[in-house]
Structure 1
């Protein structure tokens, strides 16, 4: 990991400008990293960052994979959070991460949609309003990055998503498949992995009350309030009142918090704001629906300043990292437009994407679903509910298969999870993990991603 250690400012770069001013790319001198902007639409600029793995294994029978990580929110930064908080080479104190997913693949982080993280729009009318608009921008970015690089085209791309990123992932995958078939995009799509993903909001909100009641976190009064609001959301979705459904979701989260004495939506065994490893600290997401939107966008304990280090991710990304990258405009603040990203997507926020998962399965695309056991916001109970709604022809065979227990390392006595697979659908149950599986169970997550990507790297 030495090449990734702390050469964050005093490092040499070359600059490549593409004709037409649509993209600008910088590369670290040792070629271990590339990053840049793609103008996905006029005045709409998307930032990306690619790490090449120092653990790369050349195996013609198993090409070295690339993982595209998509963060949730909407408005949460993959370049910031997924990279420094979860699976990238360095943590928020700029120390090497032993469990980095670079051990299994190259990593491509994108600040998606435009307005997220370092990505920005020059005109507020250019924020996306739907997941499919976000997918179109991401497809444009992939075309710009992959079509000019023959080496990248040799590696299968796996789209791995977390939280709301799952909705981006399935819409992007369908858009990418179409672009590949039409010859507009030159890449191999290896598959899609949906981690604790907001695929069916209705199923999740209906899971919260019963789950918390069984855990003694709600009583009958709290359950009745929760179920009543969940039913209201269902009726609003049926009526096409999608913004109203988002408002009711916000109201339901507040009711759940009040009735449970502030259960942590990302680990139902904890209180929100506790000192657990995944207690979540604030990132601002606008002034409307303040409590729920902030709660939904809180990410990981390392957002807090850490003694002796730059644990504050906002300070890190707007400080030393911005200086390293060199191409972030002076007037762009990391996360400065995130509130607008969420606001503009609130009409799409509660719309399910089960049909898109069905389409991917029908096309033969490998789809992996993984869920943390103690997540609430995207509970395993809710995930299993939407999976059972799939129309995929292999569903019944998948459901009747037995699960295989999972372990890590040499310890074969402690169950870390379960796994089930049939044809091109895989499901991982990750024990002891909340919403942020790579943080809570790094060993099992690393093994899992190695299996998903068929990485030639040796298992941990």
Structure 2
């Protein structure tokens, strides 16, 4: 969802956005001399190559009696690069300027980034027919990657894997969770699944589109006419989803975003307190349908870049120093977001994934849901709506419980709230938009410590 408003994109900047490579196979595995970083490609299907990058935490002491936590970070989109965005702009050890990040999640776990699905970031295909069309197909590829990476490394097998996702990545997380469990039970995958966390995740499109109009009306961002138009389109989307017309629902979703944009004077879909900052007068109608999404997404993340020497441009970094370090094949060009990967999944984009969350809960998997208060695209109001639809047997008790406040760094200021019952945990994070680790790094880091069972969630 991070680049998320890309329905209807055409074949724009084809080679730049979707790496295609013909020739010798990509290098399999590389590592630093001290073994603190390992990376490489896995051919998840013939001619479909997925890139991964593993960081070993320098903050965690080796304890043979306690599993070493590993976080697998899954970016959204579909088609946004976790190796680039999640790593350098959110939770990795270095920022866009290659300066140390004080709030890196390495303080609580090892980190594993992937460019998923194939065709995203450094991952590439040798034939565009190999793009995945569904979340389940993406999960199958990710499971193959885990088999190749974990089954070949006994040290990793002793660890606990926590799948933490953002935006559309939440759909990959729940489908991967089920696929990985099946492979573990069949003896094909050697790892321990510690839990799954869904950050501002696009689990139930229907509930999100119904939340947009009322939320924006309540905060005075749209008026009565905008609310009326939004509700009409939301009902249309629900009818299309109920009828299994998911491509049509994606088109209607795109239309609804345009209505919200016009009614709100271009509210930022990632933080409803901000404007998207798009100069509509400079765009033709055709350009709007292709470019607004990426401009919104890029502007929001760019606004949080640290002040430092140099321009901190992620595209330049990933296609320059990082590409050279990682020995990426020369013909592979990194892109922040692949519109072609998104378009390949337009038939699955509006399909709900609530049942998968239910199934994971019933299997006893620890599920954490966290949401930024100021997010619109995956609004907390919509997240609460789909959570209330869960049929898990602990749901009624969970809903009846009170929330506990969250603080950070010893301050008395309320930073959020948490509610937990058995294996379901929900964080309401105040002052954060769609990108919680960027907006509230201290709270996010403490939350990760709780997820990986190394700190108290309320501190």
| TM-score with structure 1 setting the length | 0.89
Q: How many residue pairs were aligned?
A: 428
Instruction: Quote the Cα distance in structure 1 between the aligned partners of 2:425 and 2:440.
Output: 19
1:201-350 maps to which residues of 2 (within 5 A)? Answer: 201-273=205-277, 289-291=289-291, 293-294=293-294, 297-298=297-298, 300-301=301-302, 308-326=309-327, 328-335=328-335, 338-350=338-350
Matched, 1:438 2:434: no
Distance 1:307 1:455, change over 3 A: closer
* Per-residue deviation, residues 103-162 of structure 1 (Å, max 9, x unmatched): 000000000000000000000100000000000000000000000111001110000000
| TM-score with structure 2 setting the length | 0.89
Matched, 1:165 2:169: yes
Q: Which residue of 1 aligns with 2:418?
A: 419
Matched, 1:195 2:194: no
Instruction: Quote the Cα distance in structure 1 between the aligned partners of 2:209 and 2:318.
Output: 33
Instruction: Tell me whether 87-96 or 292-301 shows the greater mean CA deviation.
Output: 292-301
Is the CA contact (8 Å cut-off) linking 2:315 and 2:336 kept in structure 1? Answer: no
Is the CA contact (8 Å cut-off) linking 2:173 and 2:196 kept in structure 1? Answer: yes
| 1:337 shift after superposition | 7.7
Is the CA contact (8 Å cut-off) linking 1:166 and 1:197 kept in structure 2? Answer: yes
Question: Per the alignment, in what secondary structure is the counterpart of residue 289 of structure 1?
Answer: helix
The two structures, once aligned, show a CA RMSD in angstroms of 2.2
Matched, 1:382 2:386: no
Question: Per the alignment, in what secondary structure is the counterpart of residue 200 of structure 2?
Answer: strand
Matched, 1:42 2:46: yes
Q: Which residue of 1 aligns with 2:7?
A: none
Instruction: Quote the Cα distance in structure 2 between the aligned partners of 1:307 and 1:154.
Output: 40
Distance 1:435 1:297, change over 3 A: same
* Per-residue deviation, residues 240-269 of structure 1 (Å, max 9, x unmatched): 111111111111111101100011111101
Instruction: Quote the Cα distance in structure 1 between the aligned partners of 2:287 and 2:242.
Output: 28
Instruction: Quote the Cα distance in structure 2 between the aligned partners of 1:295 and 1:351.
Output: 26
User: What 5-or-longer segments of structure 1 have no aligned partner?
Assistant: 1-19, 275-285
Instruction: Quote the Cα distance in structure 2 between the aligned partners of 1:336 and 1:322.
Output: 14
* Per-residue deviation, residues 192-215 of structure 1 (Å, max 9, x unmatched): 000000000110000000000000
User: What 5-or-longer segments of structure 2 have no aligned partner?
Assistant: 1-23, 279-285
Is the CA contact (8 Å cut-off) linking 1:37 and 1:45 kept in structure 2? Answer: yes
Instruction: Quote the Cα distance in structure 1 between the aligned partners of 2:95 and 2:197.
Output: 23
Question: Per the alignment, in what secondary structure is the counterpart of residue 216 of structure 1?
Answer: coil
* Per-residue deviation, residues 365-423 of structure 1 (Å, max 9, x unmatched): 00000000000000000000000000101000000011110101121x20011000001
Is the CA contact (8 Å cut-off) linking 2:404 and 2:458 kept in structure 1? Answer: no
